[in-house]
A and B are shown apart, each in its own frame.
Chain A
Amino acid sequence: MVSSQQLQLLAPLSGVLMALDNVPDPVFSSRMIGDGLCIDPTSQVLCAPLAGVISNLQHTGHAISITGANGVQVLLHIGLDTVNLAGKGFTPLVEEGQQVAAGQALIEFDADFVALNARSLLTLMLVVSGESFVPLVPGADLVESGQPLLALQLAETPALAEEQTGAAQLSASQTLPNPNGLHARPAAVFAQAAKGFAATIHLHKQGASANANAKSLVAIMALQTVHGDSVYLSAVGADAGQALKVLSELLASGCGEEVAIEVVEAQPMVMPEQVASDMLRGVCASPGSVFGPVVQLSENALQIDELATDSSLENQCLKQGLAEAATALQALCDNAPGNAQAEIFKAHQELLEDPGLLEQAFALIDQGKSAAFAWQSATQETATLFKGLGNRLLAERALDLQDVGQRVLKLMLGVQDRVLELPDNAILIAEQLTPSQTAALDTRKVAGFATVGGGATSHVAILARALGLPAICGVAPQVLALANGTQVLLDADAGLLHLQPDPERIKQLDRQREQQRQRQQQDLQQAALAACTRDGQRIEVSANIASLAEAEQAVTLGAEGVGLLRSEFLYLERNSAPSHDEQVATYSAIARTVGTEHNLVVRTLDVGGDKPLAYVPMDHELNPFLGMRGIRLCLERPQLLREQLRAILASAELTRLHIMLPMVTQLSELRMARQLLEEEALVLGVKTLPKLGIMIEVPAAALMADLFAPEVDFFSIGTNDLTQYTLAMDRDHPRLASQADSFHPAVLRLIASTVKAAHAHGKWVGVCGALASETLAVPVLLGLGVDELSVSVPLIPAIKARVRELDFAACQSLAQQVLELESAGQVRAALQPLQQPMTVLEY
């Protein structure tokens, strides 16, 4: 054996050592990328473990590789899943290609920010080039930055894989589905697979001159690919064809990373020109039909010159634009009608100060671009990145970013924002609605929406459903070319926008709308009356609310109390926890509005991986709907729940106070929450405890309702979650959503047994899920013995009116009948004949 040279690797950080086997990330613990070690850092500057050249610095600043003179290649990766931070919290101090000395500072990072926003800070040092090593300080658990850690055995230069010769075969070009491109994790999987072939294989990025050896992790990472990049493969050698086939499939599947299903664009039914002349197709986001004039909300494309001559002038221009935008946002903040709006504009102000964004924009100006072009590129690029991360909260931030981007652009270009005068029954057309646009809309004049972007869960869809207006999303961009004032028929149920609607159809719609209006008016006149069936059975109709404004509206529309106050509204879209006083003020104001005659049911914080809180960092969950949601999260962080209970208890005297726990599965959860409640009440000296109940939304709770019933004061059935958990169908799943139907007999049976168990113990049962707001469901729920329907505010008069048309005895026998049916479809069919023709229409 030839005596081999040694090379010492220094500790890149101070911190606590962890064996690679224990790192909770299989890509690292399996040594797929390379062997090495892991440090849980107690310092915030990553230093070079060896002298060499920076062979790759990820643009997100969380990973770097160094190649030493002797070919040793070391990858340093700060934290787990930190690629999702998109560069935030990391400040690279070196550049790709730069020569660095051992111990030189490479990347500075904000450990607190990373700890609060990423999965972990565990930092990996991996020998990618494969040399073996021995630890220099065996058994140590604490290391100091710069301390020699590993001794590498430098082997004789290994025989290079034989370069294959011959004609190259090329794969078809494909789009990268990975949200962050081929970063360390998928790149490792890909390189590993490529090594299995004898062929020489290269990965090419379309439009870039560079290509990467597909068997080199670092080379692939150095391509700096991003989501949506177009790539192809070339291969030379005997097994080239097989390699291309396997690796192309691997790329398409995301290289072991979870990727969004490629949205297949709907094939046009007819030739595009014909579609344009007659109708445009979209996806129903909110049902209904309406006829009215088009109002284009889409911004006229701003005239932007790409290049400028004087970069210092452009620099000045951008700074001034930013300053003016900040002032305007401050004014919007100060004059905002509610806290939520003020928070949105405050967040916009923060975006204006984002160092990453500014750096990007000013760098483009230095390259000779105009201020407007630089700013637009920087904001759009970041927004695209946010959207591609597959995180709903970040995707919403992208919309905010575009919003802020437009604001600054218009200020720089001197474009005045016109106040939009809407005609009656306006059908709004937009590329995508931004928060600023929707905040400024006169919703009384809007009759419907059609947008190019968005889907059934987008901002515009949520807004449209909240307003009860028809809407379609995903319409072809030609819709943006329609002249303002064009009379169109929006048939959201069919997902169509008719550009030359049939006059007969319009007349029919007009008639229906008139009937609807009359019916609505009639319902409204009687809204204050109790909801009694014709044979005298009374049912309470209360409201689902999320704000004081909704509480007030509910009372005027005849709500008998509040059956569900979604307390998350106090917490969402915030960077810090609301203060005790702020919480007390909100709950008290709502409690006073509801009054001492009626129930106020406050649901405790219902957040989790699917609706995260900005200031309560949560570990990423593979399946948030089966993760730390609702009461599970609250009991994991009892301080949060205690604070909320204290704030709610301050309203004990103002109303008939009820507290409701979401996502309860175990009796112990109920008992623990009750103990917390009693402790807090004792501290505050509250003598009469509020009523304590649970949501029935997990099948386990419904099935064990007989054991829960003695220990609660009431149940409230959340039909949306109960349905998705019972049927094991995601209600937002593109193909299953229509089958995830609460009318499924399985769901109705769970409701029936819950009611039976509750009544056996003298407890009442409400339904606060979407099922209660459906007029079609009213007779079944009544017949099953439900005591309270908590419905969305605008529907209160209609649901009350529906109750008055029914006969309780008939509802009871009908309910027993539908419990025996086979499917949701059969249940709906059995109920349809009962529905009054006029109430079929949604309003």
Chain B
Amino acid sequence: MMFDNVRKAFWKALTPDLVVDESGKHESVLQPAVLAALGGAGNVKSEQRVALTRIRVELADITRLDPQALRAAGVPGILSLPGGLVHLVVGL
């Protein structure tokens, strides 16, 4: 379910005119549960769709990332990199 939301957000980011905008905000493709698992919106310095299947996020404080909550929120794969960088592997 949550995974579907993430996919929908992707689709929206790709085709802004085809999906009706509900919130009026274009700030983030991340769902609230994913954001929360990343330590809240304030902890996310940047986010970027990369490499077809990933969201690349930069966290201010990596210790606030909760891997279990992230998986529960529908993100199957996580790659933690130095400098607070994290790849969320969310699929096509």
Contact of A22 with B87 in the complex, beta carbons under 8 Å: no
B74-91: which residues lie under 8 A (CB-CB) from chain A? 76-79, 81, 85, 87, 89, 91
- How many A-B residue pairs have C-beta atoms within 8 angstroms? Tell me: 81
**CA–CA, A605 and B38, complex, Å:** 31
A22, A24, A115, A675: which contacts B54 (Cβ < 8 A)? A115
- Contact A42 B89, CB 8 Å, known A142-B76, A142-B77, A635-B16: yes
Contact of A115 with B87 in the complex, beta carbons under 8 Å: yes
Q: Which residues of A contact B26 (CB under 8 A)?
A: 635, 638, 672, 676
Interface residue A515 (Cβ < 8 Å from any Cβ of B): no
**CA–CA, A120 and B77, complex, Å:** 15
Smallest CB separation, A814 vs chain B (Å): 40
Contact of B13 with A619 in the complex, beta carbons under 8 Å: no
**CA–CA, A79 and B13, complex, Å:** 23
Smallest CB separation, A113 vs chain B (Å): 10
Contact of A24 with B13 in the complex, beta carbons under 8 Å: no
Interface residue B51 (Cβ < 8 Å from any Cβ of A): yes
Contact of A40 with B91 in the complex, beta carbons under 8 Å: yes
One digit per residue, 1 when the CB lies within 8 angstroms of any chain B CB and 0 when it does not, for chain A 16-41 equals: 10100010100000000000000011
- Contact A15 B54, CB 8 Å, known A112-B81, A638-B26, A666-B17: no
Contact of B56 with A16 in the complex, beta carbons under 8 Å: no
B49-92: which residues lie under 8 A (CB-CB) from chain A? 50-54, 56, 76-79, 81, 85, 87, 89, 91-92
Q: Which residues of B contact A15 (CB under 8 A)?
A: 77, 89
Q: Which residues of B contact A668 (CB under 8 A)?
A: 16-17
**CA–CA, A639 and B13, complex, Å:** 12
Q: Which residues of A contact B13 (CB under 8 A)?
A: 636
**CA–CA, A119 and B52, complex, Å:** 7
Number of chain A residues whose Cβ lies closer than 8 Å to a Cβ of chain B: 37
Contact of B52 with A636 in the complex, beta carbons under 8 Å: no
Number of chain B residues whose Cβ lies closer than 8 Å to a Cβ of chain A: 26
Interface residue B14 (Cβ < 8 Å from any Cβ of A): yes
One digit per residue, 1 when the CB lies within 8 angstroms of any chain A CB and 0 when it does not, for chain B 4-36 equals: 000000000110110001001011000000000
Contact of A112 with B53 in the complex, beta carbons under 8 Å: no
Contact of B76 with A16 in the complex, beta carbons under 8 Å: yes
- Contact A18 B91, CB 8 Å, known A42-B78, A112-B85, A636-B14: yes
**CA–CA, A40 and B79, complex, Å:** 10
- Contact A121 B76, CB 8 Å, known A16-B89, A18-B91, A638-B26: no
Contact of B91 with A115 in the complex, beta carbons under 8 Å: no
Residue of A nearest to B80 (CB): A42
Residue of A nearest to B78 (CB): A42
Residue of A nearest to B81 (CB): A112
Q: Which residues of B contact A635 (CB under 8 A)?
A: 16, 26
A24, A79, A112: which contacts B87 (Cβ < 8 A)? A112
Contact of B92 with A114 in the complex, beta carbons under 8 Å: no
Interface residue A105 (Cβ < 8 Å from any Cβ of B): no
Contact of A111 with B81 in the complex, beta carbons under 8 Å: yes
Give the residue among B48, B51, B78 with the most A Cβ atoms within 10 A.
B51
Residue of A nearest to B83 (CB): A112
Interface residue A757 (Cβ < 8 Å from any Cβ of B): no
**CA–CA, A115 and B14, complex, Å:** 18
Interface residue A102 (Cβ < 8 Å from any Cβ of B): no
Smallest CB separation, A518 vs chain B (Å): 55
Smallest CB separation, A180 vs chain B (Å): 19
Interface residue A825 (Cβ < 8 Å from any Cβ of B): no
Contact of B81 with A619 in the complex, beta carbons under 8 Å: no
**CA–CA, A79 and B51, complex, Å:** 9
Q: Which residues of B contact A141 (CB under 8 A)?
A: 76
With A16-B91, A120-B53 given, can you name 17 additional A-B contacts, CB distance below 8 Å? A18-B91, A22-B92, A40-B89, A41-B79, A42-B77, A43-B79, A111-B81, A112-B87, A119-B52, A120-B51, A122-B52, A636-B13, A637-B48, A638-B26, A639-B46, A668-B16, A672-B16
Residues of B at the A interface (CB closer than 8 Å) are 13-14, 16-17, 21, 24, 26-27, 46, 48, 50-54, 56, 76-79, 81, 85, 87, 89, 91-92
23 pairs from A and B in contact (CB 8 Å cutoff): A40-B54, A42-B77, A42-B78, A42-B89, A44-B79, A80-B52, A111-B81, A111-B87, A112-B56, A112-B81, A115-B50, A115-B56, A116-B56, A119-B51, A119-B52, A120-B52, A142-B77, A617-B50, A639-B46, A666-B17, A672-B16, A672-B26, A676-B26
